Structure 1
Amino acid sequence: MRLRRALVASCLLSASFLVATANTPAAGAHAGHPHTHEHAGAHAHGAEDDAEHRAQDLVGVPLHEIEKSTADNAARIARQTGRQPGKAQSKVQADADPGVSGAWSAVLPTEVVPVFTAVLPNGKVLIWDSVGDNPTESYPDHSFTRVMVWNPADDSHRRVDLQGANLFCAGFAHLPNGNILIAGGNANAAMDGIVRTYVFNWQTETFTRGQDMAGARWYPSVAETANGEEVIIGGGPTTAEVYQANGAIRSLTGFTRYGARVYPFLVSRPDTQLALIGPTNPGYTINTAGTAAITGTADRDTINRQYGSFVTYDVGKTLVVGGGALTEGGVANVPTKTAVVVDTNAGLNPTVAATGSMSTGRRQHNATVLADGSVLVTGGYNSGAGLVDLAKAVYAAERWDPVTGQWTALAGADRARQYHSTAALLPDGRVLTGGGGICSDCQKVGYLEKNIEYYSPPYLFKKDGSGQLAARPVISAAPAAIGINLPFTMTSPQAANIRKVALISYADVTHSVDQGQRYIPLRFTVSGTTLNVTGPQTGGVAPPGQYMLVVTDNAGVPSVARNIGVNKGYMPVMSPMKNSTGRCLDLPASNLAPRTYVQTYNCNTSKAQAITRLLYDSSIRILGNCLDIPNQSFVNGTRIWMWGCNTSVAQDWEYRIDGTIRPIRNTALCLTAASSANSAQIKLATCSAPPAALQKWTW
């Protein structure tokens, strides 16, 4: 049935063609994967695999040639079989009641294949693919990119092609002001990466070139962090880099464990660190301050989830679903139907728990958080084929309920969405899906989807079988920006019926990887038409930036989202803590070992002084460990050391307006430097009145 046009939501795209281990060759080396059945563990990388990757992505071939060849093959196959490649032959029965299984729109053609999709704060969508219809005699030419801005409100678009570089296979994420940082891309027919970064201004719809990276990257991921920085990992070089708030880029020489030319799964942790949780094992907890440090290492599960997808659907909780090529249910060479929940709320190493399985295994699918906090999976195929298998395409969507952990089958799309497809949540609660193709295997089977479809989830419809749209709650007023863990008010005529208030990040999705997708439930109370809400707990939960603010009523119907900014924490994260003598709290030699005593030292920008204050558990953290009172000895003279974070009262601190920091168990004592000298011990001492300079601390 026909639906109202509106905005889209962010689904994830297949994790690039390579299957790689977390430990990869040095910068410039090419990583690949053997085309064999995938099992747990890593596979070696070599020049042959990388050459196949290059050939599969048709690097060096202009898109007009790809499109013509694919169209010719599609026409030939249609004549021979009577079927259009990639088009569903019949709709699932669930389409009859959109209140149960949602509904899909008509297929709309686009001028650019939706390989890379970013939803902007105004609800429009930035979409690009690769090089366009340049004259045959001029290729290989990688000095430009086909780009458009799509408006889901009326399905109009504007071409904003980039001149100067090909952003095919770049990483990208939102900056705090809503602009899009793009890192890396494709240099030439040899599939070399590029060092360039660009910033797309969502208000002027223009590109600006940023500072070059140290390493040329192709298939990196970009992750937003609590202090407003963007971490760039993978894509060839093993040394990660950080795009700083001032636009400068620094190398993270403390993290050199992932250089695969495969988009890594990166999530911001509540404790303000970064977690790398896939697609391969092991995963890492990374403190990105200074030159960075690995503070934890752990396996996720026994499956190498290449071409799987993931969604952070709650505070510190991420669903990782599908992917791989293994033996499951007695059938060889199939992707897994299983899913796990990775929890980064406690400890340096995440905990992992199994949850419900999809009805069928998928790879090259997209997982997208919905406006009510559930997760939608669309597209993919249920065989172990490398990039595309139209005979095994999965058209029906599925929804995962985070409360029950179970999946529900939904309506089926019209088109197969496999390699190089995307899906993204729109502010109006719909999901925009599109793309697929631009690979050698795709070309052979006539698969190129230069179009989009909208999916309207069941929550947009009445539950009476009428197929009519449901009445939606409305956000009538909200602030332009909010703070970390600070109260704010918003109003809604339906406030009494509101059951959820949440922030949802805007999509940055390609190859099944949404580089920043998260749903953040907020605590609230109701008074009349006013909702009294508390902002997200930490900058790790909600990195500073632009978000969709959404309320959901007691019938499960979400509002249209309202754009809202989240400011960096008023007590900056990963920043020094200085006493009144000018020295800073310091972790000697950035030592991660428990029982390392802290000291004061000249203030600098090293990771040894990158302190995170967590308001929700009263802890003070350096490189993932907590400031701790040994043996809970709350007495004058006790020296302070670092220890693994836990719920002990020995790690609970109180911050006074007089600048003192006191253990909650004994507030007569103050955190005190033994002297104003370098390397002075930090201990507990009886608080003086007024506080002495050695007892007063500022952030």
Structure 2
Amino acid sequence: MSATMLAGMAGLSAEAAKFPVVVTQVQDPFGTPTAIPDTAPAQGMWRGVFAWPLNAISMGLLPSGKLVSFGSPPDDAAVQSGRYYDIWDPSKGFDPSGHTILPAVANVNSFCSTMAFQADGSLMAAGGIFEAGVDKGAAVVNGLGTGVSPLGAQMAADRYYSTMLSLPDGRQLIMGGSYPYNGGWADPQGSINKGFMSGMTPEVYDGTRWSSLFGANSRDAFGPENNRWWYPRAWIAPNGKVFGISAEKMWYLDPTGNGSIAVTPFKEPQRSANSAADAPNVGPSSTAVMYDTGRILQLGGNSYDNSSGFLASSRATLVDITGGNPVLTETAPTKIGRSWANATVLPTGLVAVTGGSLWDDQADGNAVLPMEMWDPKTGAWTLGPAASIYRGYHSTALLMQNGTVLTSGGGAPGPVNNKNAEVYYPPYLFTSVNGKAALAPRPQILSLTTNRLNYGQWMQVEVTAQAGVSQVVLLGLGLVTHSFNATQRRMVLNAGVSSDGTVAVQAPASANVAPPGYYQLVMIDQKGVPSPGIIVAIGPNTAAPPLASAPTPAVIAVASNAGGTTGG
């Protein structure tokens, strides 16, 4: 979609909502930055370290716009416990009143579990560690973030460190993982002989029961060697199958019938290296993101776990699965090698990489505090500002509706045990006014004909945008843990200006491109500035989000911005 197609949006009136779904404008969770460095339009900025009620080892954005996080009890960030769920209402900012702690249900401990949305908007956290001798259950956080309940169905396998996705048909697929705290690379065959590697057989949940996909059982994809079972990196591919990377292997899993899987080599396995550029970008300490439809960025890592003693990798690889067979292309290496970093795709297609360590999970002199930004148009990395807090193993990063990246967690085990959060503001949120940095004027979505779309469906969107609208995108709501966010994916939508000046937007044509679930709808203006995101549901059986709201962007005088330029 070209910029000229959506030109002419400037001056659109917001005096009255044109469409039935009216977007409630809520307070920006982080307020207005008061000290903006002059480098912000080029590099962005970090803003503040804020208290968080617990160690956010797992974090997710709910359809209501609230955040759920878990990983420790509120009173001790060093304790491993997924029995306390913090629900944060971003509209209340970082005031303690914005947080509510929900206790988990009996016989489920979601520490080191995996997450996926169900069709009703609830979030399922499946697997984890032992609770009263049971670790095959799942907890369900409702879409409003007001309660937790048991799933009511038990998996066949122990699932500690597994990955779960929603399939195009709406079922949940879980794969990988093992018996908690046992099994893996140090004793591969012994781990299998002792029954610790039951996660090598994937399972699917149909809304009532779990079923094992015995035809997709795979030691190569989910086995103990090189800890392939540690949170396999996996995505729904454009061909409808599941594509994944597990340490030095990559694979396609077909979930139909009894299941099947085809595994091929990806790269050499983890090993000792003399330089970050020599270290392979594989293993559970790497990070990966689907930054565009069928296009994946895989980077960093080079470790079996959080204490292998291997130097972190700076390599970055593009994996193109748009044509079926994966095509690998090396892109520029990161400026700094990183283990246990987090990669977050932004509305403009840039990828922000935050946190990590030069060696395993080491802080102090090995902590990597500067973030980096990758541009898919050039393949180049830009080194950005430094965070204040080390985020390594067990840390999280999530794209917020206001366009910032919230980082939290880390530790349990140390070297840090973080009960805090820090916020990164990307360059697109800033402009230059008379040589000084300021917040950029932003588009704002005011109303929609619907916030629940079927595939290929068109809708109308009312937008106010001083600089016009050049692009409309969808981004999957983030569910992140252990340096991997399986649900974030970015796609550009067909769009055009309607006769009344509103924007007509078409939902993706296929569930293979946009699996059923929840997404942020974002308008990007001709200066590259995104609107705050509106949460919408995609899929014929996906429930509409419980409300439509977005943070109100801070306003700067339009006259003073004349001739200003926006950082990209």
TM-score range, shorter chain: 0.7 to 0.9
The residue aligned with 1:124 is: 66
Specify the alignment match of 2:143 in structure 1: 202
Match of 1:14 in 2: none
Task: Give the structure 2 partner of residue 146 of structure 1.
Answer: 84
Alignment of 1:78-227 (within 5 A): 95-131=37-73, 145-153=83-91, 154-155=93-94, 156-164=98-106, 165-187=108-130, 194-203=135-144, 205-210=146-151, 211-227=153-169
Distance in 1 (alpha carbons) for counterparts of 2:532 and 2:55 = 27
Instruction: From the superposition, tell whether residues 473 and 141 of structure 1 become closer, same or farther in structure 2 (CA, over 3 Å).
Output: closer
- Greater mean alpha carbon deviation, residues 554-563 or residues 297-306: 297-306
Shift of the 152–390 alpha-carbon distance from structure 1 to 2, 3 Å rule, reads: farther
Kept in 1: contact 2:38–2:436 (CA 8 A): no
State the partner residue of 1:249.
210
State the one-letter code of the partner of 2:154: D
- Say if 1:325 and 1:336, in contact at 8 Å, map to a contact too: no
Which has the larger displacement, 452-461 or 98-107? Answer: 98-107
Instruction: Establish whether residue 233 from structure 1 lines up as the match of residue 194 from structure 2.
Output: no
Counterpart residue number, 2:343 = 367
Q: Which residue pairs with 1:470 in the alignment?
A: 440
The Cα shift of 1:495 comes to 8.9
1:319 partner amino acid: L
Q: Distance in 1 between matches of 2:423 and 2:524?
A: 21
In structure 2, how many angstroms separate the alpha carbons of the residues matched to 1:325 and 1:213? 29
- The whole-number CA distance in structure 2 between the counterparts of 1:559 and 1:566 is 20
- Counterpart check, 1:524 vs 2:495: yes
What residue is the counterpart of 2:536 in the other structure?
564
Instruction: Provide closer, same or farther for how the CA distance between residues 127 and 315 of structure 1 changes in structure 2, counting only shifts above 3 A.
Output: same
Q: Which residue number corresponds to residue 321 of structure 1?
A: 299
Structure 1 residues 348-427: aligned runs within 5 Å = 349-383=325-359, 385=360, 387-427=361-401
Find out whether 1:492 has 2:463 as its counterpart.
yes
Structure 1 residues 249 and 416: CA distance shift in structure 2, 3 A: same
What SS class does the counterpart of residue 341 from structure 2 fall into?
A: strand
Q: Distance in 2 between matches of 1:174 and 1:569?
A: 12
Contact 2:53–2:74 (8 Å) recurs in 1: no
Aligned to 1:455: 424
Determine the structure 1 residue equivalent to 2:29. 6
Q: Does the C-alpha gap of structure 1 residues 187 and 132 become closer, same or farther in structure 2, counting only changes over 3 Å?
A: farther
Please tell me the residue identity of whatever aligns with 2:426.
P
Verify the 8 A CA contact 1:538 1:569 in the aligned structure 2.
no
| 1:514 alignment partner, SS class | strand
How much has 1:487 moved relative to structure 2?
2.7
Is contact 1:395–1:414 with CA below 8 Å preserved after alignment? yes
Q: Which amino acid aligns with 1:223?
A: L
Deviation of 1:373 after TM superposition, in Å, equals: 1.9
Deviations 1:643-665 (A, max 9, x none): xxxxxxxxxxxxxxxxxxxxxxx
Paired residues of 1:358 and 1:407 also in contact (CA < 8 A): yes
Q: Structure 1 residues 102 and 436, CA, compared in 2 at 3 Å: closer, same or farther?
A: same
User: Which secondary structure does the structure 1 equivalent of 2:464 belong to?
Assistant: coil
Distance 1:450 1:489 in 2: 42
Superposition deviation, residue 300 in structure 1: 2.7
Q: Deviations over 1:268-288 (max 9, x none)?
A: 11121111123x122111111
TM superposition shift of 1:530: 2.3
Query: Structure 1: how far apart are the matches of 2:364 and 2:119?
Result: 39
Task: Give a deviation string over 1:38-74, Cα, whole Å, max 9, x none.
Answer: xxxxxxxxxxxxxxxxxxxxxxxxxxxxxxxxxxxxx
What is the letter of the counterpart of residue 116 of structure 1?
A: S
Q: CA deviation at 1:129?
A: 0.8
Question: Once the 2 structures are TM-superposed, how far is the Cα of residue 131 of structure 1 from its aligned partner?
Answer: 4.8
Q: Flag the 1:398–1:288 CA change in 2: closer, same or farther, 3 A.
A: same
Letter in 2 for 1:391: G
Cα deviation 1:430-461 (Å, max 9, x = unaligned)? 1110111111xx2xx5x221100111111111
Corresponding pairs, count: 459
Deviation at 1:400, TM superposition (A): 0.8
Equivalences for residues 322-341 of structure 1 within 5 A: 322-324=300-302, 333-341=310-318
Q: Please report how far the alpha carbon of residue 171 of structure 1 lies from its aligned counterpart in structure 2 after TM superposition.
A: 0.9
CA distance change for structure 1 residues 377 and 484 in 2, over 3 Å: closer, same or farther? same
Which TM-score applies when normalising by structure 1? 0.62
Amino acid at match of 1:555: K
Q: Which residue number in structure 1 is paired with residue 285 of structure 2? A: 307
Deviation at 1:363, TM superposition (A): 0.8
Please give the alpha-carbon distance, in whole angstroms, between the structure 2 residues aligned to 1:552 and 1:177: 29
Give the number of the structure with larger relative contact order, counting CA–CA contacts within 8 Å between residues 6 or more apart: 2
Q: Deviations over 1:168-195 (max 9, x none)?
A: 1111122233311111011069xx8710
Does the aligned pair in 1 maintain the 2:66–2:145 contact within 8 Å?
no
Q: Distance in 1 between matches of 2:333 and 2:80?
A: 44
**SS state at 2:203 partner:** strand
Identity %: 31
Between the aligned partners of 1:422 and 1:554, the Cα distance in structure 2 is 31
Residues 239/450 of structure 1: CA separation in 2 closer, same or farther (3 Å cut): same
Determine if contact 1:339/1:356 at 8 Å carries over to the other structure: yes
Q: Is 1:293 aligned to residue 260 of structure 2?
A: yes
Would you say the 8 A contact 1:298–1:350 is kept in 2?
no
1:512-661 equivalence runs, <5 A: 512-527=483-498, 529-568=501-540
The structure that has the greater radius of gyration is: 1
> 1:321 offset after TM fit, Å?
1.2
The Cα shift of 1:507 comes to 0.8
SS in 1 for 2:376: coil
Q: Deviations over 1:145-190 (max 9, x none)?
A: 122111223222111121422211111122233311111011069x
Task: Output the aligned Cα RMSD.
Answer: 2.6
Q: In the TM superposition, what whole-angstrom CA distance separates every residue of 1:617-662 from its partner, at most 9, and x where no partner exists?
A: xxxxxxxxxxxxxxxxxxxxxxxxxxxxxxxxxxxxxxxxxxxxxx
CA deviation vs aligned residue, 1:14-46 (integer Å, no higher than 9, x gap): xxxxxxxxxxxxxxxxxxxxxxxxxxxxxxxxx
* Matching residue's letter, 2:129: N
Distance 1:300 1:438, change over 3 A: same
- What secondary structure is seen at the aligned counterpart in 2 of 1:484? coil
> Is the contact between residue 433 and residue 454 of structure 1 (CA under 8 Å) also seen in structure 2?
yes
The DSSP-based 3-state class of the residue aligned with 2:504 is strand
User: Whole-Å Cα distance in 2 between the matches of residues 462 and 170 of structure 1?
Assistant: 41
Does structure 2 retain, via aligned residues, the 8 Å contact 1:227–1:568? no
SS at match of 2:437: coil
- Residues 243 and 389 from structure 1, CA distance in 2 versus in 1: closer, same or farther, beyond 3 angstroms? same
1:265 and 2:206 equivalent?
no
Q: Given that residues 505 and 519 in structure 1 are in contact (C-alpha distance below 8 angstroms), is that contact kept between their aligned partners in structure 2?
A: yes
Tell me the distance in 1 between the aligned counterparts of 2:375 and 2:102: 38
Code of the residue aligned with 1:152 in structure 2: it is P
**Runs (5+) with no aligned partner, structure 1:** 9-93, 135-139, 327-331, 571-699
